[in-house]
Amino acid sequence: MKKWIAGLVVLLVVSSGYFAYGKMTNDTYEGMSIIPENRDDLPLYKGLQPYRNSYILKDDHWEDIYKFYLEKLPANGWVLEHDSSSLDDSDGENDWSGFRSTWIKDGFDGVLNLSASYNKHNDETEVNFDKTMHYTSTEWIGVNPESICIYEKVDDQECREIEDQENIEEIVHLINSSLDWNDAIETREKKILLEIGGLKVEVHYESDNEVYLRSHKGTKIMKPEAEFFEHTKLSVE
């Protein structure tokens, strides 16, 4: 009887320990959209330890980590798309110490966002790996036209013209820089038509919701930029 009880106690201890280990393992990578340990093309800087959605290393190592990935990622097929670091802050106006970079790769469905910073309070370097969607902005308008025609209703015969070149330049910039959109668009309360140098662009909008732009070149999505409504003199009420 005593042996049976002792065996049960051992079993419970082992089981509880296993459960705790499994819980710890699951929590370790909680919130991570990409895990370097699961990929052959994403080396992990020596000493980094995973904790929730970040990797931690004692002391200030962000510059060494920065140099490490600038060397190792291209060697593994990654292409640097954007890069910024506090090394560029020659005036020392920024208290932040670290870097941010984005990387793309053939066969990788998205963008790798890699960043590191030094936390003086905890005396540790924090590194983040994040996977996000890869968005593009196709240029629809190459040369600024002399005027833009705005039809308050798509089937109107007469339009309101914008001839101020500063307004035209800003409108063209906002349209060209809007993100390409491949999904269905949501219904909007208002729809107007812009004619820009022969290109007809439908603008679907309402209140503070995203703006959809449609033309024969495709569909774009834009944040409800105040500048767009200001330069086109469209009402969002």
- pLDDT for 9 equals 40
- pLDDT for 47 equals 96
pTM: 0.54
- pLDDT for 18 equals 40
Closest to 160 (Cα-Cα) out of 191, 189, 192, 204: 192
- pLDDT for 224 equals 85
- pLDDT for 94 equals 53
The DSSP output letter for 109 is: S
DSSP 36-89: GGG-SSS---TT-EEETTEEEEES--HHHHHHHHHHHHHHTT-EEEEEEEGGG-
Six token digits for residue 102 = 């984005």
DSSP 7-25: HHHHHHHHHHHHHHHHHHH
- pLDDT for 21 equals 37
How far from 45 is each of 31, 66, 68, 127, 201, CA to CA, in Å? 20, 10, 7, 10, 48
Blockwise average pLDDT, block size 10, the chain, 237 residues: 44 40 54 91 96 92 97 97 76 70 93 94 95 88 95 89 93 93 92 94 92 96 87 79
- pLDDT for 91 equals 52
Q: What is the spatial distance between Cα 55 and Cα 48, in angstroms, rounded to a whole number?
A: 6
